Chain A
């Protein structure tokens, strides 16, 4: 896509000369913005008829210790009506690392700003609740700063931690017959898939106020990525959304490949598309299966998990592991497809649909399920966009944004498929979107299989990127040298930065990567699709009952590995 967003000329009077400057030579339109005008500019960008940047995808910090203005806050914006992207960079100094909070413009900024504060110490003026989000309350320092030693350890005690006090709206409890009660749901609770903690104030069984605590599964993915070579990051990406780990591999590898200016060979692209779709089916099976379990429909869980089990068999035959596949490599795949790949895929296409049909037969028209899900945790499309939602949950609210359609990658523009859209915005429609997407994915896979497996290698033939074959390595001096160079120094990625995205199983999965030309990434930021969705959770469950909260968490399909990285 050609960059078409240019700095509006003449600049409106409220933006003085030099406060908004376009940065040349980037992968997408990038403006360097002074913090004084950031908020006005953001409003202008959101509401202007020629810009309409309604979706705030990602906000992250970056640290360049050698610059005068050491930190940069990087915003990634997307315009759904116009299908364009824009990156805003706001440089700030170490002494005064403050920016205006954009929470009034995009609600999605809420948790992203807390994360930037936690990781970099950027302060956002006007943020109502600027606390640590991923690290422990007693943690000291800001771990993603370059001068923070990755091996630094803290002893964290419970005495100084923040205790949530969800405040119900004033003046509503006067004539109530129930006494208010505050309870913990989680962090270790079977209904909290993963480890989240929701502190909820109840009025009878109705949640009147709540606060969500996350960070129990924070594993410093981004810091670790900075201390490992480009290729070594791949096993770490497996553990982001572990229900569909192959999609994470693809997203990361594609980003680095575009930075290197290479393309995976056709056979690898074909296999990546098929396996991504299988991973998506798996993820949707988990999401729907566990939602239904939360609603009490246990049988469906077994029916949904059997396809997943079979797909794991396919992934294991390709890569050697079922859950954390590490099958992608920069430039292609780690190993050639097994000779019976096609037969296995065809067999999966046969056995998956009966399970899906059985679940639909049990559930789709079942009034017990409908009563539990219709209208529960409903959110309108406009509000969901403002909160930064993407993926199946957004499509359940009537907004048909799918990266595979809007910005096709791999082979998605060569197959015939549709983006399912529903308009209820509730748990029931999230379920229906996922079921419809499973069928679409099966159709994509079938079309690709019918087209036939492309011949050729599965990884680029470039000794600076891909390891030489073992045979060459044992027998040829030159290959041996390349082998050693690649492992000791890693791939050398040219300096620059890149944001690229794929459609993950629960939304736009983006990687924003900065390279300084070395053998290790300078900065890796994941745009986790469920992070903005989880930040909406308090808003979704307030007014509902506790059991509704449990069902809505399942419906969002929040994966802790990706949420907390």
Chain B
């Protein structure tokens, strides 16, 4: 057999036997200590919830059901999102829409947020641009009943603020535009801190 059948452990050098490299390590920690001491703010810490990490506009957060200009849901209850959902967390009951051109609408549209794995497959599947995802990631519930979000909650305040929008069908122009805004601020932590310093008021938490 060609494999080594014994081990050759590491051999200590003289300086290692004398614990000398420990001082090199202490120098490294001392360097970091001094750096952090003179710095006004810790380098890598985000002071959540006052500060928040800026996520990209592809972030897959809480879902949004979009609406038509008249305020009605775009969803036509075609069940593609529920079919494509790997976690089987979408429950739809369809009803007949008074407008014959639209035909169907969801009477019930529930997403079980505790089952949802936030994979974005529902957004991929939607042929109507009716479900997209927001940037909102903090969802907390007091009980399981609250975790099932109805269509009223899903369309609530999100659509008004485009800055909290997350994953949705990609629009290349918008991609490029947002990347330009981000140019030079690849370091998201740095950017978050700059914003924080510019406005001492804590930014309002994303709705939800």
B129 in the interface (beta carbon within 8 A): yes
Say yes or no: A319 contacts B58, CB within 8 Å: yes
Q: Which residues of B contact A71 (CB under 8 A)?
A: none
In the assembled complex, the CB of B56 is this many whole angstroms from the nearest CB of chain A, namely: 4
* A228 closest partner in B (C-beta): B86
Query: How many residues on B have C-beta within 8 angstroms of the other chain's C-beta atoms?
Result: 57
Say yes or no: A316 contacts B55, CB within 8 Å: yes
Asked if A483 meets B127 with Cβ closer than 8 Å, knowing A339-B175, A362-B25, A362-B29, the reply is yes
Complex Cα–Cα for A80 and B117 (A): 39
A324 in the interface (beta carbon within 8 A): yes
Say yes or no: A321 contacts B118, CB within 8 Å: yes
B155 in the interface (beta carbon within 8 A): no
Complex Cα–Cα for A2 and B189 (A): 51
Q: Which of B119-149 contact A (CB under 8 A)?
A: 119-121, 124-125, 127, 129, 133
Which one, A206-214, A371-379, A412-420, is touching chain B?
A371-379
* B56 closest partner in A (C-beta): A317
Q: Which of B58-76 contact A (CB under 8 A)?
A: 58-60
Q: Which residues of B contact A428 (CB under 8 A)?
A: 9-10
Asked if A378 meets B9 with Cβ closer than 8 Å, knowing A228-B86, A326-B120, the reply is yes
Say yes or no: A370 contacts B12, CB within 8 Å: yes
Q: Which residues of B contact A507 (CB under 8 A)?
A: none
Complex Cα–Cα for A177 and B117 (A): 55
Say yes or no: B119 contacts A326, CB within 8 Å: yes
Complex Cα–Cα for A81 and B3 (A): 9
Say yes or no: B129 contacts A470, CB within 8 Å: yes
A467 in the interface (beta carbon within 8 A): yes
Q: Which residues of B contact A320 (CB under 8 A)?
A: 56, 58-60, 120, 133, 166-167
Complex Cα–Cα for A320 and B55 (A): 8
Complex Cα–Cα for A470 and B124 (A): 8
Which of A340, A343, A361, A487 is in CB contact (< 8 Å) with B25?
A361
B37 in the interface (beta carbon within 8 A): no
Say yes or no: A361 contacts B28, CB within 8 Å: yes
B99 in the interface (beta carbon within 8 A): no
Q: Which residues of A contact B19 (CB under 8 A)?
A: 367-368
Complex Cα–Cα for A309 and B183 (A): 20
In the assembled complex, the CB of B43 is this many whole angstroms from the nearest CB of chain A, namely: 9
In the assembled complex, the CB of A394 is this many whole angstroms from the nearest CB of chain B, namely: 9
Say yes or no: B2 contacts A313, CB within 8 Å: no
A305-335 contact mask (Cβ, 8 Å, vs B): 1 or 0: 0100100010011111100101000000011
* B175 closest partner in A (C-beta): A339
B187 in the interface (beta carbon within 8 A): yes
B168-188 contact mask (Cβ, 8 Å, vs A): 1 or 0: 011010011001001100111
Which of B12, B15, B58 is in CB contact (< 8 Å) with A316?
B58
B199 in the interface (beta carbon within 8 A): no
* A224 closest partner in B (C-beta): B86
Binding site for B on A (CB under 8 A): 54, 80-81, 228, 231-236, 299, 306, 309, 313, 316-321, 324, 326, 334-336, 338-340, 343-344, 347, 358, 361-368, 370, 374-375, 378-385, 397-399, 423-426, 428-429, 467, 470, 473-474, 480, 483-484, 487-488
Further pairs besides A54-B1, A235-B87, A235-B121: 12, Cβ < 8 Å: A80-B3, A336-B172, A336-B175, A339-B175, A340-B179, A363-B25, A375-B7, A375-B9, A382-B4, A384-B3, A397-B4, A399-B3
Binding site for A on B (CB under 8 A): 1-10, 12-13, 15-17, 19, 21-22, 24-25, 28-29, 32, 44, 55-56, 58-60, 80, 83-84, 86-87, 117-121, 124-125, 127, 129, 133, 166-167, 169-170, 172, 175-176, 179, 182-183, 186-188
